[in-house]
Amino acid sequence: MTFVISTHNPATGVTIPSTWGDEVNANFVALNGYFFSPLFPESSGQVDTNTAGMLYATGYGVAGTPLVEFPILQANGTATSARKWTRTTPPSYGGSLIISGQYYMPVAGTAAFVLGVRVSAFSTGGTVTAEAFATQVKGTVTANTVANKWTAFSVTIPTGNTDSMLSNIPVQIEFERLPADAGDTEAGTVNFSSIGAYFNASGY
């Protein structure tokens, strides 16, 4: 939904229209879609010890001076690669986790690639050595057929795969590209320029 400016301008003696309450509630619902915890490029994350690790590199433009330069994570079409981030869920965390961001293909894509997301919540009272990830969630992304075009992606994480995430506890998110998956038929490299976690506030 989109945030809108109400048609009612409160003033003494002016009757509030019946639509005003609906507009206010709709705006709260719209704002609820903006709760966000940035992962990359705010942090490069940890290299996953079980995979090749996504390569941290620099992307750049060629349109002017000085050059526009920015960090990227590169995932090729050969080896499984991953990064992990640990964040503390905010007091307002209510669920509906989505991992989303932007990527581009340095060479025009021709097929699709598969992303995998795992979540591990470090619940208070748990045992450090017993921590493990919930079942991986996979998302298939159609590769952009135009080289160097900013392109959005997202992977929705069902509640059953969030490892009982709660507010105010640390959580680790693992993000992978899975070339060995049958659905990953894209041979080219994917450059991720932003990755973040979106969620709903408690009560929505």
Q: Which residue type does 127 have?
A: T
Tell me which residue has tokens 């229209």: 17
Helix H segments across the chain?
A: 19-32
* Distance, CA of 77 to CA of 79 (rounded, Å): 6
Residue in the structure block whose two tokens are 């998956």: 181
Q: What digits encode the pLDDT tens for the residues 91-100?
A: 888 888 999 9
Please count the other Cβ atoms lying within 10 Å of the Cβ belonging to residue 74: 16
According to the model, what pLDDT value does residue 118 have? 98
- Residue owning tokens 């939904």: 1
Task: Collect all residues with Cβ–Cβ distance below 8 Å to 204 and sequence separation of at least 6.
Answer: 28, 29, 32, 94
Identify the pLDDT of residue 32: 62
Those residues of the chain that have pLDDT short of 50 are none
Under 8 Å between Cβ of 194 and 72: no
pLDDT recorded at residue 1: 58
What is the set of domains in the chain, with CATH numbers?
1-32 (no CATH), 36-201 (2.60.120.260)
**Which residue carries 């969620």 as its tokens?**
199
Please give the pLDDT value at position 173.
Answer: 97
Given this model, what pLDDT does residue 92 score?
Answer: 81
